[in-house]
Amino acid sequence: MNSTRARNMMAMVQKQSGNIGASLATILFVWAILKDHFPSILNNYIKKHFHKLVRFVSPYIDITFHEQGETFSQNEAFSAIKSYLSTKASSWASSFKADFIKQSKSLILSVDDHEEVIDEFHGVKVWWVLENKQKHSKTQEKMYFKLSFLRRHREFIAGSYIDHVINEGKALALKNRQKRMYTNTPCIDWNNWKIKWNCVYFDHPATFDTLAMESKKKEEIMNDLKKFSEAKEYYAKIGKAWKRGYLLYGPPGTGKSTMIAAMANFLNYDVYDLELTIVKNNRELRSLLNYTSSKSLIVMEDIDCSLNLTGQRQSKSDSESKSNEVTLSGLLNFIDGLCSASGAERIVVFTTNHVDKLDPALIRRGRMDKHIEMSYCCFEAFKVLAKNYLDIDSHELFAEIDSLLAETNMTPADVAENIIPKSREEEDNIADSCLKNLIKALKEVKPVKGEEEERV
């Protein structure tokens, strides 16, 4: 027991348990002074039984929250408490651990081991401390938070207070967290899930502001995403899993991958980029799913090339004979199975250049709820690119570009490539020369007459 803890314990016992408490506190005090003169066997005996006695008469209750709980939600509780206490620690504690989180651009302080943090909620005082218990080997430590409070507040703490801590902590963690991007690797060790998903920090700069697309269409997608992220209760009420599927289709270079980055940045979700061609079979696919977290985008790019998904669903005998590969029904189960994974709140995104080749079962509403066509660059999309690359809102050449784009199929990627300044000499009049480059390129592309495709 460290000295702060002993002092607090004495004060608590004296204050709350009247005469018995005062006597116990005196015994504890005397023993603390004299214990060096007692044989260790006697000291252990006193310690063991004194603690039992204190627990019996103590008006306080302790609850512990372990870092490595048996279930995923237990671990989540530990992380939420840690975030919550980081805001309280600054006013009470004198020793901190510091983390620099890149995206939050600030230093996050968290409470140091054994440092006590006092919190008050609706006039009820509680004490938190981060402790560690050594496991079998010295290197293995079990961290846990201990929450102490008065016995008579038991119901209030177990209900409202803990809910408050977890909810606030989760919200804070979400605000400060750094998004991650996971990619699957060929599976070597079935027992080690970390080998299955490789993780890097997600730092893609694309946002909906920089995405070249008709503003009406963009707004509709942003509203849809926002509505989804706030619809936890709605999904629970209608008995549906909290997930949504997006199918992005269109020619190469129209911004499908850029849109995924913008979605992740907009929602502050992690990205799981699932490369289906290296997944061995349906079993491995399911196991990958089990290790995706809530608030994430699960992305499968070029879905038409990843698998032989263009045909109808395989017959049973057919799929049994191919138990060493991912099948369409395996993939359908993967998507539908997202509901059973805890916490849900996942968005599945497929991209393809050939939507017409996909099996209808894969992209039916309910699986892929929103189909978004990404197409050639229209004038409105061009204006976004001109702002991004040249920082201009208007120019005398815009009118000519408008009419050329109306009769030409050029992807936003090609438009962007043409307006990027190529040499240092252009620096004096960058916008002028870049727009002329684009006009030249547009004139070289054969105009598409009577084409029916909707433009981005």
- The residue (of 166 and 377) whose beta carbon lies closer to ligand ATP is 377
Binding window for ligand ATP (CB under 6 A); candidates: 69-77, 131-139, 229-237, 251-259: 251-259
**256 lines the binding site for ligand ATP (CB under 6 A):** yes
8 A C-beta contact, residue 143 and residue 135: no
- The residue (of 17 and 254) whose beta carbon lies closer to ligand ATP is 254
Q: Which helix (H) or strand (E) holds 184?
A: strand 180-184
Largest separation between any pair of C-alpha atoms in the chain? 101
- Please give the Cα distance from 182 to 174 (Å, whole number): 17
- The residue (of 314 and 353) whose beta carbon lies closer to ligand ATP is 353
Secondary structure (DSSP) of 188-237: --TT-HHHHEEEEE------TTTS-S-HHHHHHHHHHHHHHHT-HHHHHH
- Please give the Cα distance from 244 to 221 (Å, whole number): 12
- The residue (of 259 and 331) whose beta carbon lies closer to ligand ATP is 259
CB atoms within 10 A of CB 317: 7
Q: Nearest approach, Cβ of 370 to Mg ion (angstroms)?
A: 18
Q: Nearest approach, Cβ of 248 to Mg ion (angstroms)?
A: 9
- The residue (of 256 and 295) whose beta carbon lies closer to Mg ion is 256
Q: Three-state SS for 13?
A: helix
Binding window for Mg ion (CB under 5 A); candidates: 19-27, 252-260, 289-297, 436-444: 252-260
Q: Which of 108, 211, 299, 328 binds ligand ATP (CB under 6 A)?
A: 211
Binding mask 413-432 for ligand ATP (x = CB under 6 A): x--x----------------
Partner touching 89 among ligand ATP, Mg ion, none, CB below 5 to 8 Å by kind: none
Q: Three-state SS for 337?
A: helix
Partner touching 245 among Mg ion, ligand ATP, none, CB below 5 to 8 Å by kind: none
- Please give the Cα distance from 163 to 169 (Å, whole number): 10
8 A C-beta contact, residue 243 and residue 344: yes
Q: Which helix (H) or strand (E) holds 55?
A: helix 40-57
- Please give the Cα distance from 267 to 228 (Å, whole number): 10
**306 lines the binding site for Mg ion (CB under 5 A):** no
**252 lines the binding site for ligand ATP (CB under 6 A):** yes
Provide the β-strand partners of residue 99.
Answer: 108
8 A C-beta contact, residue 172 and residue 87: yes
Binding window for ligand ATP (CB under 6 A); candidates: 33-41, 205-213, 239-247, 433-441: 205-213
**258 lines the binding site for ligand ATP (CB under 6 A):** yes
- Please give the Cα distance from 35 to 275 (Å, whole number): 64
Total number of residues that touch Mg ion (CB under 5 A): 2
Q: Nearest approach, Cβ of 412 to ligand ATP (angstroms)?
A: 3
Residue 447 structure tokens? 């105009």
- The residue (of 115 and 301) whose beta carbon lies closer to Mg ion is 301
Binding window for Mg ion (CB under 5 A); candidates: 33-41, 86-94, 254-262, 442-450: 254-262
**257 lines the binding site for Mg ion (CB under 5 A):** yes
- The residue (of 69 and 251) whose beta carbon lies closer to ligand ATP is 251
The β-bridge relationship of strands 346-352 and 296-300 is parallel
CB atoms within 10 A of CB 53: 13
- The residue (of 334 and 350) whose beta carbon lies closer to ligand ATP is 350
Binding window for Mg ion (CB under 5 A); candidates: 73-81, 253-261, 391-399, 425-433: 253-261
- In the complex, the residues that contact ligand ATP under the rule CB under 6 A are 211-213, 252-258, 353, 374, 412-413, 416, 456
- In the complex, the residues that contact Mg ion under the rule CB under 5 A are 256-257
